[in-house]
A and B are shown apart, each in its own frame.
Chain A
Amino acid sequence: MDQVHVPTNALLKKVAARRPWWVNVYIPALVRGLTVSIKQFFKKSVTIQYPEQKAVINERFRGEHYLKRDEHEHMKCVACYMCATACPANCIHIEAEPAPQGPGWEGRDKVPAVFEIDMLKCIYCGYCVEACPKDAIAMTNKIPKVYTDRKDFIYGMQKLLYNDQPDPPAPKK
């Protein structure tokens, strides 16, 4: 077993004896400490006054999701369930339907009829983004929001499709 060296009083005394006396009275150290703290006193504060000022959030911050659209403004998602499978929190719910016929839908078998993410369950790990073979889901840098109803936390397909747009300003009370 390793020996743990606890500094005993005898040891501390030995260490103290090796220092010059003006170090042992601690007054120079005290003065140095006081200068350090008074320097902090006159520096600018780092506070962000939250509701008025907002912190700058990094571009790469993993915030709320959004579903990407292709050049026809159709969703890129093909309802392959890869993201729902990869999700460690089980927060993605997908129901598929046959893809509609017509221009812009070539080469697609399925599209999601329902695509819901439960933002209360989501842990914002980004595995769904990693898993997507079509690069159809991505994350914004929006901070997860707060609602007064649990239903509001479940983001549907329409909301997710346009979640890359900035949020409308909050209604004034």
Chain B
Amino acid sequence: MLEEVLNNPILFTAIKLVVSFAIVLAAVPMLVWMERKSAARFQRREGPNRVGPFGLLQSVADAVKLIFKEDYFPKNTDKAVFLLAPILTFMPGVISFGLVSVTATRSGQLLGLTDINMGLLVMLAISSLAGYGIAFAGWSSNNQYSLLGGIRSSAQLISYEIVMGLSVVALLLKTGSLSLGEIVQQQSGVVFGFIPRWNLFMWPPCFFLFLLAAFAETSRAPFDNPEAEQELVGGYHTEYTGLRYAWFMFGEYAGLWTMCSIITALFLGGWHFPGMGRLIHDEWLFALVGFGVFIVKVLALIFFFMWMRWTLPRMRWDQLMKLSWTRLIPIALGNLIILALAMEYGGLFR
């Protein structure tokens, strides 16, 4: 039975497609719950605890509420663009998750939706599409706050994409491959007997640059200027209500989930955990445990994002741009040059 499914490429792909989509769909309500619960804990509150056990069904209740809300169009909106924007924001997060291999069998068969040999490039291209959705929403809403949010978002995404790109380029020098699956496979095992061979420990600057850029790319605090509730009244989604607002919400958390799984794959060793290969010999049990390890890593990373949100105040807009252009980009370039020199003349990663 299992062999039959595995040997039928169309059926196998269909199953992987459904599972990959379902993971994102299931992750979003959970992340919203996690966000509200952790926010509450950081402020010493209880958070949602009325709907379902531990308030787990709160997101479901919210979704039902949003569905039954009035379908509202503000005056003089550009309707086509206005309708397109939420979908454009939502799609990239879901699509680029398909590029991430979430686990692999012990013999190394990757189990993600797909693993194309230039996955990282495609991922960068798709994730920059999210900027269009936000810019469209800001522009078509016919509202000053939305417009400001859209402009901020575009400017922020452009400047931090450079930082992200440069840190990825440096990483590519080390890995020599653009395939996310292969990059993860390179990170198995340990060095010096106890440090996992994760890219985080192999070359930390890349990780921290990428992490900072990821905060900006997902518009998470302290870089949440595009939506800045206090100054922009929600920014680009000010004029959105009901289900269309829910799409934005969904896109935001899907983006966060995908970004964290990409960071996990690139820097935190994906499904690898020191000692896993020695302990588990069953082919498919390995894949299952690997999947669990992957999810735990992603959730830990997401928790870090939320932890940051309740620690740092939002940066001022000009400080944000200054940080990127005058600090991070030179650092990222320097990181690239030093790594290149170290690999060429120092024999690093040989």
Contact = CB atoms under 8 A, between A and B. Distances in A.
Interface of A: 30, 33-34, 36-38, 40-41, 43-47, 49
B18 interface: no
B41 A33 contact: no
A44 B311 CA distance: 18
Contacts of B38: 41
A33 B312 CA distance: 8
B46 A49 contact: yes
Interface residues of B, number: 13
Contacts of B73: none
B278 interface: no
A9 to B, nearest CB: 10
Contact of B42 (A40, A44, A46, A47): A40
A37 B38 CA distance: 11
B43 interface: yes
B44 interface: yes
B245 interface: no
Contacts of A46: 44-45
B325 interface: no
Contacts of B12: none
5 contacts: A34-B307, A40-B42, A45-B41, A45-B44, A47-B44
B54 interface: no
B44 A43 contact: yes
A4 B231 CA distance: 25
A47 B307 contact: no
A41 B38 CA distance: 8
B45 A37 contact: no
Nearest to A43: B44
**Nearest 6 CB-CB pairings of A with B:** A47-B46, A37-B311, A33-B311, A41-B41, A45-B44, A45-B46
Interface string B225-243: 0000000000000000000
A44 B310 CA distance: 17
Contacts of B43: 40
B40 interface: yes
A46 B42 CA distance: 12
Nearest to A38: B307
A33 B68 CA distance: 41
A38 B43 CA distance: 10
B216 to A, nearest CB: 16
A46 B46 CA distance: 8
A76 B46 CA distance: 48
Given A33-B312, A45-B40, A49-B46, 11 more contacts: A34-B308, A34-B311, A36-B311, A37-B311, A38-B307, A40-B43, A41-B41, A43-B44, A45-B44, A45-B46, A46-B45
Contacts of B41: 40-41, 45
A68 B336 CA distance: 84
Greatest chain B CB density within 10 A among A30, A33, A40, A41 is at A41
Contacts of A38: 307
B44 A44 contact: yes
A21 to B, nearest CB: 13
A36 B46 CA distance: 19
Interface in B15-61: 38, 40-46
A30 B44 contact: no
